[in-house]
């Protein structure tokens, strides 16, 4: 369907935010076939000044360290053995070289750590921005603890590698410089020193192969523990209401035991190889002392040369002594990066089309045209070749037209697809078939930001942020005046209980708003939606936790608020249906009848049956008092008066 011309202004931003921090200059390479380190190179390259500047200073620092044994060798040979030069000059040189190396070491380490923390920040921003773009289907199938683990411990592992890898790699420079110097002095003595090193390389390669799968298991089980902790904290009321604390502790202990097993196996693997990796080079030291001592006795080299040789052997050993640590960091970072890339490589299913434009000047005419939809994981039978498999469809041929300013109640049994209609209208998911239009514009042809600014939603279990009540109400309009906040709260019948709190509108609610009752949370969420002033309002059983008396007051206020506003009411109570101008009865994912409450009650036995299951006599009495065509109600079979 081709949409009519829309406003083609700049990208729509309902809540304008002044950016205080620079965005990451680069992101990971999109080619998933590349190695993990090659994929992160663009981000490292964005900090190349710090990276290469620090490496250059590290190189100079290493060369100064290599120069110190050469100066001491000359001091021993000329100032102590031959006494042909003053010792003070050599002492001064050693001090200068030592101080210079200390200063350079401080500067390059600071630079590398700063670079690592900047990359850490970039990765967190990149990951969070990507999460904010992913479709709801991703969060439907992904545990929050797994995401949190990737955003914390996995990024931390990558950051640590980016700090220590350059530091450990710089020891290779010392190795090469020391090796060249040693070869220039005595070739065979150098051969004795490096003879055990190939064995160190082979052991390191075997260690890397064994540690990588264990590192992956450790990170995934860390995520499993994080998920359990997250669920138990968020669901603490459910856990305690069923007195299942011991069961949850046992579950966490089991996960912690699995993590311990993986951690211990990793340490056992390292313990099996690291002693050989670290101590094989010392065999070279023993050979240098034995063979070098004989060369000194024979007069082929001097005492100073033997001292320098022994010192350079230690420099040769440095890369191999840290090889185990380097491999551990590398394999853990590799496993962590792969887990991060799993999220970053996930593509959102609901995206703005290249030619998407902003939805402006909304009147509120909504048309559901033969809409069908199935959630992920309920795909058609692959054996079906007709293309007509309807299995797993939540909505199947859903057709409904809502006029501007009209209030329509969706009524149906549990699982009939009422809430799905609201999610598709706001384009949380894309329809499987058919189309949804607003004022003739297919929702897939407009920007998501402008669409969701036009469509406000209030759920039956609203989410509140752990901040002040005023900030929660003004969430969609952070610059709203306090008077506007109070007006919205008053319309939602929330002002009275908020004003009675110790800090009033500045009262900070607990996590998810659980310091408030369910009805209070619903009223705050309703005030939040009213303050946003959307042209289309969806109330998804938004007063289910509110007592009937307060709900009646809310309805009276909403009668004014809903004027000239298109409203969809997903109803589970008769008193909620009283808000509607028209009722749409939903069965098995499609609209089977529409009309006023009295019309459907008189003509649709299915409607009367559903209402009989929704209400009781007290509800019916309150509905009778709600007015708007509800005087003289028709009795409902099996229930109270309507």
- Measured in whole angstroms, the distance separating CA 304 from the mean position of its chain's CA atoms is 59
Q: Which CATH architecture has domain 366-381+390-624?
A: 3-Layer(aba) Sandwich (3.40)
Q: Residue 78's pLDDT is what?
A: 83
Measured CA to CA, the distance from residue 446 to residue 189 in angstroms comes to 76
| Domain positions in the chain | 36-344, 366-381+390-624
Structure confidence at residue 624 (pLDDT): 34
Question: How would CATH label the architecture of 36-344?
Answer: Up-down Bundle (1.20)
Q: What is the pLDDT of residue 12?
A: 63
The pLDDT, as a whole number, for residue 638 is 31
436-449 burial, b at 16+ Cβ within 10 Å, e below that, comes to bbbbebbbbbbbbb
The tokens of 244 are what?
A: 């299942």
Cβ(237)–Cβ(350) under 8 Å?
no
Q: Are 61 and 51 in contact (CB under 8 A)?
A: no
Q: How far apart are CA 237 and CA 328, in angstroms?
A: 41
Tokens, residue 493: 């019948």
Question: Could you tell me which residues come within 8 angstroms of residue 296 by beta carbon, excluding any fewer than 6 positions away?
Answer: 302, 303, 306
pLDDT at 11: 53
pLDDT at 365: 92
pLDDT at 295: 82
CA quadruple 435, 438, 441, 444: dihedral, nearest 10: -50
Strand (E) positions, 329-394?
Answer: 366-373
Mark the ranges of the chain whose per-residue pLDDT is less than 50.
1-10, 382-386, 616-642
Residue 375, SS3?
A: coil
Q: CA 195, CA 209: separation in Å to the nearest integer? A: 24
Task: For residue 330, count other CB atoms closer than 10 A to its CB.
Answer: 20
């Amino acid at each position: 369907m081709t949409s009519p011309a829309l406003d083609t202004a700049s990208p729509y931003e309902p809540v304008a935010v002044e950016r205080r921090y620079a965005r990451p200059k680069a992101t990971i390479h999109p080619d998933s076939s590349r190695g993990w380190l090659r994929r992160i190179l663009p981000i490292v390259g964005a900090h190349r000044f710090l990276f290469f500047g620090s490496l250059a200073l590290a190189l100079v620092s290493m060369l100064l360290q290599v120069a110190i044994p050469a100066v001491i060798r000359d001091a021993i040979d000329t100032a102590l053995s031959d006494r042909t030069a003053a010792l003070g000059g050599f002492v001064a040189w050693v001090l200068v070289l030592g101080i210079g190396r200390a200063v350079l070491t401080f500067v390059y380490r600071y630079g590398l750590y700063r670079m690592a923390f900047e990359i850490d920040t970039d990765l967190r921003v990149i990951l969070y921005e990507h999460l904010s773009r992913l479709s709801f289907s991703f969060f439907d199938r992904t545990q929050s603890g797994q995401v949190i683990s990737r955003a914390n411990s996995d990024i931390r592992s990558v950051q640590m590698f980016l700090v220590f890898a350059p530091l450990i790699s710089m020891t290779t420079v010392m190795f090469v410089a020391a090796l060249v110097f040693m070869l220039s002095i005595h070739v065979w003595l150098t051969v004795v020193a490096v003879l055990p090193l190939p064995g160190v390389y082979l052991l390191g390669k075997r260690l890397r192969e064994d540690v990588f799968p264990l590192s992956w298991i450790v990170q995934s089980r860390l995520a499993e523990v994080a998920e359990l902790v997250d669920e138990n904290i968020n669901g603490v009321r459910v856990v305690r209401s069923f007195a299942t604390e011991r069961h949850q502790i046992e579950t966490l202990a089991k996960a912690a035991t699995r993590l311990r097993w993986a951690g211990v196996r990793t340490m056992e693997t390292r313990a099996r190889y690291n002693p050989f990796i670290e101590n094989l080079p010392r065999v070279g030291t023993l050979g240098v002392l034995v063979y070098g001592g004989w060369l000194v006795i024979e007069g082929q080299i001097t005492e100073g040369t033997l001292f320098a040789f022994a010192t350079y052997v230690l420099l040769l050993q440095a890369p191999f002594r840290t090889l185990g640590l380097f491999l551990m960091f590398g394999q853990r970072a590799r496993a962590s990066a792969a887990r991060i890339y799993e999220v970053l490589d996930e593509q959102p299913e609901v995206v703005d089309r290249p030619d998407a434009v902003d939805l402006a000047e909304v009147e509120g005419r909504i048309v559901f045209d033969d809409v069908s939809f199935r959630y992920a994981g309920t795909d058609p039978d692959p054996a079906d070749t007709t293309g007509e498999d309807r299995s797993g469809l939540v909505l199947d041929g859903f057709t409904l037209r809502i006029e501007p300013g009209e209030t329509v109640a969706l009524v149906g049994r549990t699982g009939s697809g009422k809430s799905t209609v609201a999610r598709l209208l706001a384009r949380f998911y894309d329809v499987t078939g058919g189309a949804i239009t607003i004022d003739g514009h297919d929702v897939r042809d407009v920007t998501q930001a402008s669409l969701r600014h036009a469509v406000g939603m209030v759920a039956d279990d609203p989410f509140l942020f752990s901040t002040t009540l005023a900030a929660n109400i003004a969430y969609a309009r952070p610059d709203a005046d306090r008077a506007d906040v109070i007006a919205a709260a008053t319309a939602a019948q929330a002002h009275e209980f908020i004003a009675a709190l110790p800090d009033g509108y500045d009262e900070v609610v607990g996590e998810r708003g659980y310091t408030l009752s369910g009805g209070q949370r619903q009223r705050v969420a309703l005030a939040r939606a009213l303050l946003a002033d959307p042209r289309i309002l969806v109330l998804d059983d938004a007063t289910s936790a509110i007592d009937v008396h307060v709900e009646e007051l809310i309805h009276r206020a909403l009668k004014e608020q809903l004027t000239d506003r298109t409203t969809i009411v997903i109803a589970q109570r008769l008193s909620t249906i009283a808000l509607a101008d028209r009722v749409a009865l939903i069965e098995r994912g499609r609209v089977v009848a529409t009309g006023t409450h009295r019309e459907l009650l008189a003509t649709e036995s299915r409607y009367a049956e559903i209402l009989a299951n929704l209400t009781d006599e007290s509800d019916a009495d309150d509905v009778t008092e709600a007015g708007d065509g509800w005087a003289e109600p028709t009795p409902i079979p099996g229930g109270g008066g309507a």
